Structure 1
Amino acid sequence: MQSLCEAYQLGITIRDRLKETDLVTVFEDFDHTIDAIEDGYPAWHPAPLSFRAMVLSFVFMEITGDSYANFTRRLTRQPEVATILGFSRVPDESAFSRAWKNRFDDTAHEYARAAAHFVVKEVHDRDISAPEVRPKAEIVDDTQEDANPVEDKSFSQDEIVQTTRLARDHAYGHFDSGRASNASYEDTQFFELQTFMGMVRCGTAQGATRFQYRRGEEYGPHGDTHLRTVKQFEPDEFINGFNETTDRLLSVIASEASFRRPVTAAIDITAIPYYGDTEEMPMVSGTKDRDSRAFKFATLSIIGQNIPLVLAVEPVRESSEWDENPSNQIHRTVRRLVRRAKEHAVLNARRRQHRIFDIRYSTGSGALSVDSQIGRFDLSGIVRRPKHQFHKILHKA
């Protein structure tokens, strides 16, 4: 996946330069590094031709549609092009054929094609004047959907756009990083990137590249910039923003529909693996696996027909050997979640309805403590379940 990320970065660079100059000049003084793919020839192999020059040549040929023979004739007629690409001499046709078969593995093949095909599609989709670029029809099959080639198929382009628009209208405005007003990117742009990464299920580096593919390099922040900005949000302010957003969403939902009674709610504790150094990381906890570490947080959600609606979220910090955190008492976390959720209209309706809460916490002494605390919220009718199943708690309004 790292190779594809680098390939698309290469494609973005070529596309942006093509807006101002011709294809050959694009590769002049080209400082793009190629680190994600490896030379198939060992170090002792007597291959006088630069691997980097070969990679750029295959990208060039994929962009123009040149055959090995045509490309070799081009280099013979214009030896300066060979120099620009990084060759010390003009290769013959067989050199390219051998390199593609023996020197390039499948990852390198995919790298060259991904970068070049990205450029071809962008040139035609954005009406960039580049006569040497091959027709788009040559790289898009008749049966292939003419869509973003890097989009995850779990969500369509329309779904991503609609979700981002709704989040921009109802959620993003309640969060503030406290950054200067003259910053290069607004907070909204970082939230759009984060939303996109969540919907296409990828990390920051690849997500930022794919986001720039959709919105343009000028609009989308770089992955490192995104990570630095996210760290500037204060945890308490972030939770406050989440609560304000939840109020806003519930208000919008209430204006369109009502919750079917009884309402089913669930409390979950989620662990996200952490692989870094634990020193001075009090927010990282241990897990059941002795050597594993994780960030943990608890949520209280209303379970609907489509997706859970999270009403409250609470970080979970446990006592570990690398911090001074007090021993975690899960019932206190549950109390805070229920108290916060009851502030919302969904759990505060005055109708005399029965509502069901699923507390996803295994039975035992810890669960009994949780049950006793929940009882303070007028929750009764606990039905015991075997370990690792749910408590069913009947709540009378």
Structure 2
Amino acid sequence: MTGKGAADQSETDRSEQILESIRNQIEDLCYIHEHMTRVLINLDIDEDWFSGYDEQERAKYDFKAMILTLVYMRARNIGQSEMERRLHGVASLGVRFGFDNIPDQQAISYNQKNRFDNDERVLLKKIADELVETCIEHDIMHDTEPKIELDKIDHEQVEEQEIMDVVEQATEIGFQEFSADRGSNTSYPLDAFFERQGYINLAKAGTTTKSRRFARLSNRKDVPHGSTHNRTMKKVADPDAQVTFAEFRDGVTPEWKRIRDEILEPFHAGVEAILKELTSGEGAESAIREPVHAAIDITVWPYHVSPYWSNRTASNKDKNPIELDIDGETKLIDPDYPELVSGTKDGERGFKMATITIVAQDTPIVLGVEPVRDSRKFEKELGIDIDSPPRGETVDRLIEQAKQHVDLHKIFLDRGFDSDQTRAIIDQHESLYVLGKSARADIDKEHIEEIKDDDYYDSRLVHGTLEYDGTEHDITYIYKESDTVDKKYVMFTVNEHIDHHRAEGLISQYGQRMEIENQYKSIKKHFLPTCASKDYRIRLLYFVIGVVLYNVWRLANYLLRDVVDFHLGESPPIPAGELIEIVGICMSKPPD
């Protein structure tokens, strides 16, 4: 093909490549943002894609802003006059798109006809159509525009610069102790990687996200590439390569525990620094009043890959699967399946992390993180001797972590931790527990039936003594009707002999445990990156960084206490979702 035909084909191929790049970005951004307009303004658009206009230097209006305008017009199916109104109006689209001067209808018309040739106008329409289609699929194609964040962040008394200052200050406190075993000839300081990681976590981007997306926000001349970033963050977690669970034997510390210890040491240094800031006041001015109430629970970071291979999958692998007979059926197992991935009660799979968090105070801070290593059915069938700590041991480690920083008074746990070992361990730590319990024993069922038959009482207390591993303590079993499910009865245990009034107070306080569920929702929604890695160094490090960012968010709001005159609590002046809009500015500092 020669001449005009070849040129047309070349232009078609180029347009398709551009559209493919935009299509991938839109798909990624729809997982990050909850509105079509935010997806649009965060697109990475290379001005070299549009070269039909020969006099760009004479153009009055920013090129990208005009591209966004034309795409928006098509996506919203509006005309130029309506577009002018929206650029000037309460939606503040002119500010969002980056115009220094807002164009009127004539300017929009002129730019559309003269700054873009016919092929480019066709490409802009395709981009708009792709944007609409993908946003509809993700249910983020709303009629109204999202609120402006930076100049009106949930409280008119909070100034933009004050927010930037406190987030930068809080971030520096949270990450100051992390380090990596790196050579002296490294191109970037470690701070640069944590700045980028902070952006990745908050923007729900992947580590292979194009460097220029973050570079636009950073004050550094150069920022790390994705592959360099991955290698460096692995060194932060552990300098040694990860090995599989099958390579461990008795007496050898499992690799996942060494990874845990490597990451948690700087994490706790950051927690200590954050708590020092939070407790700098006296009396009512202090954000944390000891002894504290804490909640312990487990969250799951999903991992959707199955450990079982089909015959077809196995034939395409360069490693032989492990063959195992399970329930009379031959299963093919991935020999390199991640050691720390296990099943959940909902039939899903994922990396499990347990945390201990301050509750019932103005500033909930995560005090400890512990990876959960549950056994898997195929390991039991294979007879593999694994180190799978029971829930009581996990609770013990979390309490030890928390006690580095605060005095614990009460600890709330759900029935997922129901074991005599857990109860004995908490009692040995001299904390009061309120622990949910499954009514599995016949005696429990009898007590519940007696409550149902009683015309006056809807609860019952039973006093006893728990003996475990040579120790004993008083225990009260509480049976009561559920507050949430009709005709359902629930059971709790407390390591004291208490009366009905005390029991009612403790069960009411047990509701504070739900704050840890809200914490998990915030971390997963706002502070974890997109990650498909099966390397546990990466998974645990990124989760811990997400927890640090959560703590930073809480600290940042506390540091604004002198700016606002109302209780911060669960309605802080910086909503977690808004940090994404300013993190690049706040976390990036010019190199020394």
Q: One-letter code of the match for 1:378?
A: E
**3-state DSSP of counterpart to 2:188:** coil
The counterpart of 1:178, out of the listed 170, 181, 195, is 181
1:106 aligns with one of 119, 129, 134: 129
Deviation at 1:144, TM superposition (A): 8.7
Task: Specify the alignment match of 2:289 in structure 1.
Answer: 260
8 Å contact kept, 1:357–1:392: no
Deviations 1:350-379 (A, max 9, x none): xxxxx221123436xx43331122122223
The answer (yes or no) to whether the contact 1:312–1:337 under 8 Å persists in 2 is yes
The Cα shift of 1:332 comes to 0.6
The residue that corresponds to 1:375 in the other structure is 427
Contact 1:334–1:370 at 8 Å: present in 2 too? yes
What is the aligned partner in structure 2 of residue 284 from structure 1?
341
Q: Distance in 2 between matches of 1:208 and 1:13?
A: 17
Asked if the contact 2:426–2:433 (Cα under 8 Å) also holds between the matched residues in 1, the reply is: no
Say if 1:64 and 1:314 are closer, same or farther in 2 by CA, change over 3 A: same
Find the counterpart in structure 2 of residue 70 from structure 1: 114
Amino acid at match of 2:370: E
- Corresponding letter in the other structure for 2:303: Y
- Residue 161 (structure 1) aligned with residue 164 (structure 2): yes
Asked if the contact 2:355/2:398 (under 8 Å) is kept, the reply is yes
Deviation at residue 254 of structure 1 after TM alignment: 3.0
Equivalent pair of 2:354/2:370 in contact (CA under 8 Å): yes
Q: Which amino acid aligns with 2:293?
A: T
Cα distance in 2 for partners of 1:277, 1:230 equals 26
- 1:189-224 deviations in Å (ceiling 9; x for gaps): 222223334444444455965432211574443344
Change (3 A) 1:242 1:68: closer
TM-aligned CA deviation for residue 175 of structure 1: 0.9
User: 1:273 pairs with 298, 302, 324, which one?
Assistant: 302
Alignment of 1:52-91 (within 5 A): 67=111, 69-70=113-114
Q: One-letter code of the match for 1:370?
A: T
Structure 2, gaps ≥5 residues long: 1-22, 30-39, 58-102, 135-145, 239-258, 308-335, 440-489, 497-592
Q: Is the 8 A contact 1:282 1:324 kept in 2?
A: no
What is the alpha-carbon distance in structure 2 between the residues aligned to residue 243 and residue 392 of structure 1? 29
Aligned with 1:11: secondary structure? coil
Instruction: Establish whether residue 319 from structure 1 lines up as the match of residue 375 from structure 2.
Output: yes
Determine the structure 2 residue equivalent to 1:330. 391
Does residue 356 (structure 1) correspond to residue 406 (structure 2)? The answer is: no
Tell me the residue number matched to 1:298.
Answer: 354
Alpha-carbon offset, residue 273 of structure 1: 0.5
Q: Aligned partners of 1:174, 1:97: CA distance in 2, in Å?
A: 51
**Residue pair 1:205, 1:223 contacting (<8 A) in 2 also:** yes
Q: Which residue of 2 aligns with 1:249?
A: 274
Q: Report the equivalent of 2:264.
A: 239
Residue aligned with 1:300, SS: strand
When residues 198 and 96 of structure 1 are mapped into structure 2, their CA distance, relative to the original with a 3 A threshold, is closer
Cα distance 1:216–1:329, how it changes in 2: closer, same or farther (>3 A)? same
Shift of 1:301: 1.3
Fraction of identical pairs, as percent: 28
What is the distance in 1 between the residues matched to 2:124 and 2:43? Answer: 22
> Given the alignment, which residue of 192, 200, 206 partners 1:189?
192
User: What is residue 227 of structure 1 aligned with on the other side?
Assistant: 230
Once the 2 structures are TM-superposed, how far is the Cα of residue 240 of structure 1 from its aligned partner?
1.0
Q: Distance in 2 between matches of 1:375 and 1:9?
A: 54
1:69 to 1:195, Cα distance in 2 relative to 1, 3 A: closer
Structure 1, unpaired ranges of 5+: 25-61, 76-92, 112-142, 349-354
Query: Post-superposition shift, 1:164?
Result: 4.6
The secondary structure found in structure 2 opposite 1:174 is coil
Q: For residues 64 and 219 of structure 1, do their structure 2 counterparts lie closer, same or farther at Cα, with a shift above 3 Å needed?
A: farther
1:4-54 deviation per Cα after TM superposition (whole angstroms, max 9, x unaligned): 479967536759xx9xx9859xxxxxxxxxxxxxxxxxxxxxxxxxxxxxx
Cα distance 1:274–1:22, how it changes in 2: closer, same or farther (>3 A)? Answer: farther
Question: For residues 283 and 361 of structure 1, do their structure 2 counterparts lie closer, same or farther at Cα, with a shift above 3 Å needed?
Answer: same
Instruction: Summarize the alignment of residues 10-21 of structure 1 with structure 2, pairs less than 5 Å apart.
Output: 10-11=44-45
SS of 2:176's equivalent? helix
Q: What's the counterpart of residue 17 of structure 2?
A: none
Q: Which residue does 2:523 correspond to in 1? A: none
Q: Distance in 2 between matches of 1:162 and 1:232?
A: 30
Alignment of 1:197-208 (within 5 A): 197-205=200-208
Which residue is equivalent to 2:527? none
Distance in structure 2 (CA, Å) of the matches to 1:98 and 1:253: 56
Amino acid at match of 1:255: S
Say whether the 8 Å CA contact 2:432–2:495 is kept in structure 1.
yes
- 1:70 to 1:310, Cα distance in 2 relative to 1, 3 A: closer
Q: Distance in 1 between matches of 2:230 and 2:290?
A: 41
1:317–1:325 CA contact under 8 A, matched in 2: no
Q: Which has the higher contact order (CA 8 A, sep 6+)?
A: 2
How many residue pairs are counted as aligned between the two chains?
Answer: 286
- Contact in 1 for aligned 2:415/2:435 (Cα 8 Å): no
Query: Which amino acid is 1:172 matched to?
Result: F
Paired letter, 2:350: A
Judge conservation of contact 2:392–2:425 (CA < 8 Å) in 1.
Answer: yes
Call closer, same or farther: CA 1:2–1:206 in 2, change over 3 Å: farther
Deviation at 1:314, TM superposition (A): 1.2
CA contact (8 A) 2:299 2:352 kept: yes
